Amino acid sequence: MSVTDRNDAEVGATDEESETPPDIEAISHVSDWKYIQIAIILAVITAAEVATYYIDTGPLEVPLLIAMMIAKFVLVIMWFMHLKFDSPLFTRTFVAGLAMAVVVYIAVLSMFEFWA
Amino acid sequence: MALTEERPLALTTGDEVTVDHEPLGVFRRPTATEGWRSWVTTVDHKKIGIMYGYAAFFFFLVGGLEALVIRTQLAVPDNSVVSAELYNQVYTMHGVTMVFLVIMPMAAAFANYLLPLQIGARDVAFPRMNAFSFWCFLFGGIFLNTSWFLGGAADGGWFAYSPNTGVVFSPSHGLDFFTLGLLITGIASLVSSINLTVTVLNMRAPGMTLMRMPVFTWMVLVVQVLLVFALPVITLALILLLFERLYDAQFFNPEAGADPLLWENLFWIFGHPEVYILILPSFGIVSEVIPVFSRKPIFGYPFMVFSGIAIGFMGWGVWAHHMFASGIGPISVAAFSLSTMFIAVPTGVKILNWLATMWGGKLTFTTPMLFAVGLVAMFTVGGLSGVTHSVAPSDTQQTDTYYIVAHFHYVLFGGALMGLFAGFYFWWPKVYGHFLGERLGKAHFWLMLIGFNLTFGPMHILGLQGMSRRIYTYDDGLGFNMWNFVSTVGAFLIAVSILLFMANVWTSRRKAKGQPAVGPDPWDSRSLEWMIPSPVPEYNFDEIPVVTSRDEFWTRKYGEDENGKVVRLHSADEVCQKPGATGIHLPSPSYWPIVLSAGLPFIGYGLIYSLWWAALGGVLVIAGIYGWALEPADDDENPHGHDDHDDHDPSGDDAVAADEPVDVPEEAPVG
Amino acid sequence: MADTATHDVTLGEAFAAEVGSGHHATNTGYTNEKLGMWVFLGSECLLFGGLITTYLLYQDRAVEGPLPKDLYDIPFTSVSSFVLLMSSLTMVLAVSSQVQGDLRRARTWLVGTALLGATFIAGQVYEFTSFVKEGMGYTTNLAASAFYTLTGFHGVHVTVGIIMLASLVALSASGRLGQDRAETVEIVGLYWHFVDVVWILIFTIVYLIT
């Protein structure tokens, strides 16, 4: 298990920590302008998604929509939920649940021959 | 979920401000250290563990009585002790009780009591949420069982296959109690699993790396992770069923075009990890017991850990082997058949490791060791019959026969329950300061082992003869008579053995009255919980130990001489911590967990009968949440009443409090 | 033995004072509360995954009455999806203000987030009532039941989020939520963003792909 473990390094390492916790420290380096940029990108992708409702993209529609959905999803969890600069442990915890859900439920849908 | 936040509050100006406020002005913070109040308001993981144990044992007696009704009914052909309707309810509630109200909470009892001790912590990560989990489980269990007096219990089997669970086929409120009761106990399990996961990841003593943790702690961690991911699936399935029954949705009704197999899939996606949730804590317990009584470290510790993780992980890929007979198609059958065969491998690794631990060891067959060896043997039998299920053609024949009943009782009774009893005998002196009697204990073991094999061994034969499960009676002349009778005799032997256990608890407690408590280390053990006095003081560790090796306590007592022979370096008394610590600050007791959880059954009754009850429950829940959120977890700044949690030295808290620069620890709002 | 013993005491005391509190004593360096929230969100993935699966399986099954996809008002839902998406921006700005110690601005952003969330819920209520008017009640057919259950569950999550945001604003206004407790705001934010990403999935999978 590759959990970030302060104890591995040295006993007593916990004593020498800065006042600000590491996660809060990381967040304070991101400017509000960065968040606004991300939000603009999200808004543009959403507009593109809605556009597929009006413009016929043929067989590309579903892959395009899925790709845009994943892009939005990743942007939010990486930037707004700070996974980009936060502990990898959080990313692993969340991705474990997400991956478990995706794999298990795709298997269920396959059993019902959903994709046919 | 509640977000407890316990850092002191600083106002932006940096000024120190003392705010003297009673939380909500309603309740005074509870201060009792003895009597029922101290139990009702406790947030101490040890007291909560003990309550889990007693509550689970109570439900064990209830479930056991239900089992005796089943066996009495089946003792002879064409029997009529109970009607077919009542029989359906009895076997359903037997299964539900034993799985959700006995084995899971009993494992939670051990996990709560031992996990903080084994990792060298003073409590769990969220002590009040821990209390909430317990009360939630208890009230959920009671709620579920009140259905007996309110028109009949659930009658759909513990896995409640649809469409039998629709209102048409099960018109009583039994299944509503089933869904709501399991939702409430599910909340308990989810909260407790998050709590214990965070505890293991965050609260270990200095030097206690993950690969130095005792195997029991590891197995509990795996179980909590399984619960975290499996519970939402059953929650979802139960909610769909609830909406179908209460609000006329048709999620599982084929007449409306629904797929009843959706329920089967959702149930077993939860249900198969659940099987490992039930067995892994017991695997952890025997992995602690066997090394102590073999006087050898556990053989292949990394294999032990990783096979546990592998079982947990692979447990997610085998659920459809419960559904081979339901027409899921050849590809699914082949895939799940293979994955089921593979999962036998890590389980086999564990059994080999236990045997190798005993191999060449100095074995002492005390009662806990007997139960541990009993698990290894009986679980192997159950595991092997399990492998026969992975062969789909053979499974198709065995499905819904007594062969299946035999199999899962060998793994759950012969496995999980044997392990839990091993744990009772092993840790009893740690918890109560006195041993359970060895003579009665051994009688208990042998009688239970014999009774167990008499009860469930013949079921293999009955199943292969074609006797189907869940039938309330059978005709004479089918060849079922003799083995059914043997099985019933065995069931009553088990009942007698449980009475022996209770007598043992009673007599050993009487004998121990007035005697000094056993020392901290009565078995010459290996892990940290044995380094502190028995019974464990409220603050657990006088000083948090710095861990330098696996089997930390053992390596403090023993070393090797130049020939590699194990020699004693220090006596246990030299190494163990003495009671009487001062200045240790513990989380304060609280009323709110029990208030919050008491609201949930009312919401349950309200959904079934009248929404007024739900309104009452809702008020309790909201009061609980806000009372909880606004109550500081610790009240070290409070000028009165520190002795609520440390009766050894009430002044001790002030020493800690004086160091704190600011006052008024606050609580985060709660959702 | 003597020197290790003193070492024990210092660490032991440090740990004792910190039991269950603060980040200094935890093994990962992150607080229990934040780790607990992430574990909870991992668990929620399985819940919403199951709800989405149920809807996908049943989206075309109706013995009678209209299917949800026949009634969708995509322009309307696009607007309310956009509102929820932008509430994530205001949420993250609230966290950022709280971290920087600008509590007034943080409160403003929190109120804004709650209002955007409430707008989304109002939109959902409007959507549901118009669907019911068009003849698709909760029990009209399987697809309808699955649709209302999925989107209703999401709506309940948003509502819980709004209540948490309101509680934060109240705490902050009464001076109990200072800069040092920015993490509390961040944890509520994590929940809020999670609810938002679930809607990102629902909007595409349920509404746009038909």
DSSP structure class, residue C63? S
To the nearest whole Å, the CA of B383 is away from the closest chain C CA by 29
The answer, yes or no, to whether residue B476 has pLDDT greater than 80, is yes
The answer, yes or no, to whether residue A10 has pLDDT greater than 50, is no
Greater confidence, B6 or B538? B538
**The pLDDT of residue B635:** 58
**Beta bridge partners of residue B8, listed in sequence order:** B665
Contacts of B243 (CB under 8 A, 6+ apart): B249, B251, C145, C149
> How far is C-alpha B560 from the geometric centre of its chain's CA atoms?
38
Contact flag C176-B201 (C-beta cutoff 8 Å):
no
**The pLDDT of residue B651:** 37
Report chain B's mean pLDDT, rounded to a whole number. Answer: 88
Confidence of residue B627 (pLDDT cuts 50, 70, 90): confident
Say how many CB pairs under 8 Å bridge B and C.
204
Chain A stretch 6-35, residues whose beta carbon is closer than 8 A to a beta carbon of chain B: 7-8, 11-12, 14
Q: In this structure, are residues B634 and B6 in contact, taking their beta carbons and an 8 Å threshold?
A: yes
The answer, yes or no, to whether residue B1 has pLDDT greater than 80, is no
Contact flag A4-C28 (C-beta cutoff 8 Å):
yes
DSSP structure class, residue A3? -
Is residue A69 within 8 angstroms of chain C, CB to CB?
yes
The answer, yes or no, to whether residue B581 has pLDDT greater than 90, is no
Q: Which of C45, C120, C179 to mutate to test the interface with A (most CBs of A within 10 A)?
A: C45
What is the rounded CA–CA span in Å between residue B259 and residue A112? 9
What is the rounded CA–CA span in Å between residue A106 and residue B630? 43
**The pLDDT of residue C155:** 97
ipTM of the shown complex: 0.89
Identify the chains in contact with C, defined as 3+ C-beta pairs within 8 A.
A, B
Parts of chain B belonging to CATH 1.20.210.10: 269-515
Confidence of residue A20 (pLDDT cuts 50, 70, 90): low
Confidence of residue B28 (pLDDT cuts 50, 70, 90): low
Share of chain C above pLDDT 90, in %: 77
Q: Which residue among C103, C145, C178 sits closest to B250, beta carbon to beta carbon?
A: C145
Q: pLDDT digit string (tens) for B420-452?
A: 999 999 999 999 999 999 999 999 999 999 999
Q: pLDDT digit string (tens) for A47-85?
A: 999 999 888 888 889 999 999 999 999 999 999 999 988
Contacts of A32 (CB under 8 A, 6+ apart): C93, C96
The answer, yes or no, to whether residue B194 has pLDDT greater than 50, is yes
Phi, psi of B165, rounded to the nearest 5 degrees: -90, 0
To the nearest whole Å, the CA of C172 is away from the closest chain B CA by 10
Which of chain C's residues have a Cβ under 8 Å away from the Cβ of B266? 50
**The pLDDT of residue A8:** 40
Q: pLDDT digit string (tens) for B379-422?
A: 999 999 999 999 999 999 999 999 999 999 999 999 999 999 99
Greater confidence, B28 or C144? C144
Chain B stretch 113-132, residues whose beta carbon is closer than 8 A to a beta carbon of chain C: 121-127
Phi-psi region of C124 (alpha: psi -120 to 50; beta: other; left: phi over 0): alpha
**Beta bridge partners of residue B566, listed in sequence order:** B560
Q: pLDDT digit string (tens) for C120-155?
A: 999 999 999 999 999 999 999 999 999 999 999 999
To the nearest whole Å, the CA of A96 is away from the closest chain B CA by 9
CA distances (Å), origin B191, targets A12, B126, B455, B473, C78: 31, 10, 36, 41, 35
Is residue B107 within 8 angstroms of chain C, CB to CB?
no
Share of chain B above pLDDT 70, in %: 90
Is residue B259 within 8 angstroms of chain A, CB to CB?
yes
Fold of B269-515: Cytochrome C Oxidase; Chain A (1.20.210)
Q: Which of C6, C15, C148 to mutate to test the interface with B (most CBs of B within 10 A)?
A: C15
**The pLDDT of residue B671:** 32
Q: What is the biggest distance separating any 2 CA atoms in chain B, rounded to whole angstroms?
A: 89
Chain C stretch 88-107, residues whose beta carbon is closer than 8 A to a beta carbon of chain A: 88-89, 91-93, 95-96, 99-100
Contact flag C30-A23 (C-beta cutoff 8 Å):
yes
Greater confidence, A35 or B636? A35
The answer, yes or no, to whether residue B512 has pLDDT greater than 60, is yes
Phi, psi of B609, rounded to the nearest 5 degrees: -105, -70
Contact flag B6-C21 (C-beta cutoff 8 Å):
yes
**The pLDDT of residue C17:** 37
Confidence of residue B633 (pLDDT cuts 50, 70, 90): low
Burial class (CB in 10 A: 0-12, 13-18, 19+), A110: middle
The answer, yes or no, to whether residue B485 has pLDDT greater than 70, is yes
Contact flag C139-B247 (C-beta cutoff 8 Å):
yes
Is residue B576 within 8 angstroms of chain C, CB to CB?
no
Contacts of B535 (CB under 8 A, 6+ apart): B430, B431, B432, B433, B517
Q: Where are the domains of chain A?
A: 30-84, 86-116
Q: Which residue among B10, B259, B671 sits closest to C178, beta carbon to beta carbon?
A: B10
Confidence of residue B327 (pLDDT cuts 50, 70, 90): confident
